[in-house]
Amino acid sequence: MAKQEQKSEFTQNLPNMEKAYLISVEVPPDNDFETEESLDELEALALTAGASVVGKLVQKRSSFDPATLLGKGKVFEARNEIESAGANLVIFDNEISASQQEKLEKELGVKVIDRRALILDIFAQHAHSREGRTQVELAQLSYMLPRIRGRGIELSRLGGGIGTRGPGETQLEVDRRKIRRRMRKLERELSQMEAVRITQRKRRKRAGLTSVTLVGYTNSGKSSLLNRLTKASVIVEDKLFSTLDSTTRRLRLPTGDSIVLSDTVGFIRNIPHELIAAFRSTLEIVREADLLVHVVDASRQEMMRERMQTVDEILADLGACDIPVIFALNKVDLLARGERKMLKKRYPKFIQISALTGEGIDKLISTITLFIQKQITTTLQFENLKGAWE
Ligand SMILES: Nc1nc2c(ncn2[C@@H]2O[C@H](COP(=O)(O)OP(=O)(O)OP(=O)(O)O)[C@@H](O)[C@H]2O)c(=O)[nH]1
Ligand SMILES: [Mg+2]
């Protein structure tokens, strides 16, 4: 059902904002709650990318229509709603293939993209460092490659905007051969940049510094926590994927020991696999850590468990399962006393903090210190995680 545009914390007042209409097709095993959450997250992503959301549609089906995901009747209904809402962009929460995209664009009369393309677009907009831009361009090209099928020129037909922006100076390439060549060049550049990082890591290892990495769902407050702990000035924004580069800072503990603390790119459900692949070298900071601090947004309790699970899965994907984890429940300043108590009962080993007010930060530092002094082996081992949630 179409919904009026909602005001959101993510809204930007960009001129010529794209007007997006969101579609999700739900097939068994379906879960109303997850679809709703996922669609809300898609809206936040659309707004972060600079679009406004002018309508939404959810269809439950026993299976996807092979050509258009949606059934014929719904395609017709969507087209009418898109027209009356003045939308010029459709974003599917589901993944769509190149041929489905082509068919849908013809039937709906506007540009159609999927969640993955939207996330890639946000990354393209937020990539500032040379390495970040190289990684994002590589991810975009590998997303595009199987989708081109000789219809390269049509990209320009889309008229720019979300899904067509690239971080490089060059327009996104549309020729398969050229794309492959460019991808190889980017991969070479990345491995050169990685070599520098490897040297830095070796130096830290030699100095015997414990490496602690902040991980967590996007927007959970990782950069805020890094800033709070180290007085760094990493950009903090109420946007998804504000951070793409890892920032590492030294932190002196009250005991005199020093650690290196790193911030990382946030994780999200259904993160495009080409992004994980392209960001592999940046994410080495996770795999190489002695200790992870998993930052959880406690103000979004209805999504906490699912988000922790997503982070859990991505960590496993990165080969970081055996690294000890401390859990930090962030943003507790937004909770009522009763809610905090309930969380304490439910997650007794999680440390309640507020990167904003500084509350609980001492406790977090002392837990990290205990870990370094080997007085605790870990607060929670990854494999115990599931138990901690029940
Ligand atoms: N109320 C409250 N807000 C917080 C707290 N920590 C972070 N925030 C807010 O949450 C938003 C996201 O914070 P960031 O530090 O950018 O989050 P992040 O995890 O680094 O996000 P990405 O880099 O986008 O993945 C910002 O608007 C912060 O001001 C907190 O303890 N309390
Ligand atoms: Mg950040």
Question: Are 376 and 248 found together in one domain?
Answer: yes
- Please check the confidence at residue 65 and state whether its pLDDT lies above 80: yes
* Residue 320 and residue 222 share a domain: yes
Indicate the pLDDT class of residue 321, thresholds 50, 70 and 90. Answer: confident
CATH code, domain with 345: 3.40.50.300
In the structure, ligand 2 is a single-atom ion and the residues with CB under 5 Å from it are 222-223, 242-243
The pLDDT of residue 144: 83
Q: Provide DSSP, 136-171.
A: HHHHHHHHHHHHHTT-TTHHHHTTSSTTS--SSSSP
Where in the sequence is the domain holding 52, given as residue range(s)? Answer: 18-114
CA of 26 to the centre of ligand 1 (A): 31
Residue type, 46: A
Ligand 1 center–CA 206 separation, angstroms: 33
Q: Say if ligand 1 is within 6 A of residue 68 CB.
A: no
User: What's the length of the chain?
Assistant: 390
Report the candidate in 258, 251, 200, 210 with the shortest Cα–Cα distance to residue 227.
Answer: 251
Q: How far apart are the first and last CA of the chain?
A: 35
Tens digit of pLDDT for each residue in 332-380? 999 999 999 999 999 888 999 999 999 999 999 999 998 888 766 554 5
Same domain? For 65 and 144 the reply is no
**Same-domain check for residues 232 and 369:** yes
3-state helix, strand, coil in the chain (%, to 5): 45, 15, 40
Query: What is the count of structural domains for the chain?
Result: 3
217 and 294 fall within a common domain: yes
Task: Determine, yes or no, domain membership for 196.
Answer: no
Question: Is the beta carbon of 132 within 6 A of some atom in ligand 1?
Answer: no
Ligand 1 atom at shortest distance from the alpha carbon of 334: 1
State the CATH number of the domain containing residue 107: 3.40.50.11060
Q: How many CB atoms lie within 10 A of CB 300?
A: 16
- 114-123 CB burial, b ≥16 within 10 A, e <16: bbbbbbbbbb
Same domain for 343 and 228, yes or no, is yes
Domain end among 114, 148, 173: 114
Is pLDDT of 6 > 60? no
Tell me what the mean pLDDT of segment 307-322 comes to: 89
Measured between alpha carbons, how far is residue 102 from residues 110, 130, 147, 189, 260 in Å?
10, 33, 10, 34, 48
- pLDDT tens digits, residue range 75-124? 999 999 999 999 999 999 999 988 899 899 999 999 999 999 999 989 88
For residue 101, being part of any structural domain is answered with yes
| Residues 67, 132 share a domain | no
Would residue 199 count as lying in a domain? no
Residue 15: pLDDT over 80: no
What atom of ligand 1 comes closest to residue 224's alpha carbon?
Answer: 15
Q: Is residue 61 part of a domain?
A: yes
Last residue of a domain, one of 58, 92, 114: 114
Look-up of token digits 């990167």? 355
On whether both 133 and 109 belong to a single domain, the answer is no
Residue among 297, 303, 300 at smallest CA distance from 329: 297
CA of 20 to the centre of ligand 2 (A): 26
- My answer on whether 54 and 103 are in the same domain is yes
- The answer as to whether 304 is a domain residue is yes
SS3 352: strand
Q: Is residue 240 part of a domain?
A: yes
Q: How far apart are CA 333 and CA 296, in angstroms?
A: 13
pLDDT at position 369? 92
Q: Does 119 fall in a domain? A: no
Does residue 201 lie within any of the structural domains?
no
285 band by pLDDT with thresholds 50, 70 and 90: confident
Q: Do residue 109 and residue 132 come from a single domain?
A: no
Which stretches of 65-152 are assigned E, i.e. beta strand? 89-92, 111-114
Tokens read off for 149 = 């099928």
Instruction: Verify that 360 and 276 share a domain, yes or no.
Output: yes
**Same domain for 88 and 229:** no
